[in-house]
Amino acid sequence: MKPSAPKNITWIIGLVSGTLGIIGHFAQVQFISEHSFTLILVGFIALALGTSLKGI
């Protein structure tokens, strides 16, 4: 299995989701702080799938 670069939209979704999760962990933002772990997990999964599967 050869890793490939994710598409731009997948990379942006992963980056934004992970960044919001980190911000929610360190700052008190009502919705984001409640779901910070989930946001980081979604960002990581998006980037992992984007590099593992071709065309995502």
Contact 20, 56 (CB under 8 A): no
Q: Is residue 1 part of a domain?
A: no
> Is 3 part of a structural domain of the chain?
no
Of the candidates 27, 24, 21, 26, the one whose C-alpha atom is nearest the C-alpha of residue 47 is 21
Stretch 4-29: mean pLDDT, rounded? 94
Query: By residue range, what is the domain housing residue 46?
Result: 8-52
Total tally of structural domains belonging to the chain: 1
Q: What is the mean pLDDT of residues 22-41?
A: 94
Q: Quick one: pLDDT at residue 54?
A: 84
Task: Please determine, for residue 56, whether its predicted confidence score (pLDDT) is greater than 80.
Answer: no
pLDDT bucket at 16, cuts 50 / 70 / 90: very high
Band the pLDDT of 3: cuts 50, 70, 90: confident
